[in-house]
Amino acid sequence: MKTRGMVVVITGASSGIGRATAVACARRGARVVLAARSGLPLEAVAAQCRRRGGAALVRRVDVTDEQAVRALAQAAVALFGRIDVWVNAAGVGILGRFDQVPVRDLRRLLDVNLLGTVNGARAALAVMRRQGHGVLIDIGSLLGGRITAPYMAGYVMSKAALAAFDEVLREELVLLGERGIKVCTVLPAGVDTPFFRNAADHSGRGLRSLPPVATPERVARAVVRAARRPRERVLVGPYARLLTGARILAPRPVRRAVAWRTDRAYLGPGGGAPDTSGTLYAPSGQGAAVHGGRHGGPRTAARRAAAAAALVAVLRAVLPRRSPSPCGPAWSAGGGGRRGRNR
Is pLDDT at 343 greater than 50 in this prediction?
A: no
Q: For residue 267, what pLDDT band results from cuts at 50, 70 and 90?
A: confident
Coil, strand, or helix at residue 216?
helix
In the chain, the DSSP E strands lie at 7-11, 31-36, 56-60, 85-88, 94-95, 134-139, 181-188, 200-201, 233-236
- Please give the C-alpha separations between residue 145 and each of 167, 186, 189, 205, 242, in angstroms, as whole numbers: 12, 9, 10, 26, 14
The sheet carrying 31-36 orders its strands as 56-60, 31-36, 7-11, 85-88, 134-139, 181-188, 233-236
- Which amino acid would we find at residue 64? T
Percent of the chain scored above 70 by pLDDT? 83
- Structure confidence by residue, pLDDT tens digits, 41-74: 999 999 999 999 889 999 999 999 999 999 999 9
Helices (H) and strands (E) in the chain, counts: 13, 9
The model carries a pTM of 0.83
Three-state SS annotation for 168-195 = HHHHHHHHHCCCCEEEEEEEECCECCCH
- Give catalytic residue positions: 155
Q: What's the pLDDT tens digit per position in 151-170? A: 999 999 999 999 999 999 99
Q: Tell me, what's the pLDDT at 326?
A: 45
Cβ distance 64 to 111 under 8 Å? yes
What are the Cα distances from residue 159, in Å, to 41, 94, 113, 236?
Answer: 26, 13, 7, 15
- Rounded CA-CA distance 96/86 in Å is 32
pLDDT tens-digit map of 88-138:
999 999 999 999 999 999 999 999 999 999 999 999 999 999 999 999 999
Other CB atoms within 10 A of residue 312 CB: 10
For residue 156, give the H/E element and its range.
helix 153-176
- Compute the distance between CA of residue 25 and CA of residue 7 in angstroms, rounded to an integer: 9
pLDDT band at 238 (very low <50, low <70, confident <90, very high): confident
Tell me the backbone φ, ψ of residue 231, rounded to 5 degrees. -130, 150
271: CB partners within 8 A, 6+ apart: 204, 205
Give me the helices (H) in 201-326, please. Answer: 216-228, 240-249, 251-265, 296-318
> Taking a C-beta distance cutoff of 8 angstroms, is the pair 64, 37 a contact?
no
